[in-house]
Amino acid sequence: MKLTRYEKELARVVAEKYGKLSAGEIVGELCRIGVVDHTLCKVLAVRRWVAEGVERGGRKVETMWLAAEHFCVTYEYVRKCVYYYTDVNI
């Protein structure tokens, strides 16, 4: 994937300022300063958790209910993450 100039500059700044931190700490810092959208991070986490549960053989609706319990959110929030935010994936 080819990076834009802005993405290259962000990568340079992150490496320079946060280079000694772990990946998790870097993500935390980027969320804290507002560079990374915290809401979309939550959506991604829920979507991946559900997808992995289905890949392991779970039924989708049941896995979505389990995700709601796991993340301490409503089933409706999980449903929104899975069906509404379809462009948020890794």
- pLDDT tens digits along 20-77: 999 999 988 998 888 888 888 899 999 999 999 999 999 999 999 999 999 999 999 9
Alpha-carbon dihedral sign for residues 73, 49, 56, 22 = negative
Does 43 share its domain with 76? yes
- Both 42 and 77 in one domain: the answer is yes
Give the residue ranges of DSSP H helices in the chain.
5-18, 23-32, 38-55, 60-71, 75-83
Same domain, residue pair 46 and 27: no
pTM beyond cutoff 0.85:
no
Q: How far is CA 9 from CA 3, 6, 16, in A?
A: 10, 5, 10
The answer to whether residue 89 is domain-embedded is no
Structural domain harbouring 13: 1-36
Q: How many domains does the chain have?
A: 2
Q: Identify whether residues 45 and 77 lie together within a single domain.
A: yes
- Whether residue 90 is contained in a domain is answered as no
Residue 59: how many other CB atoms lie within 10 Å: 10
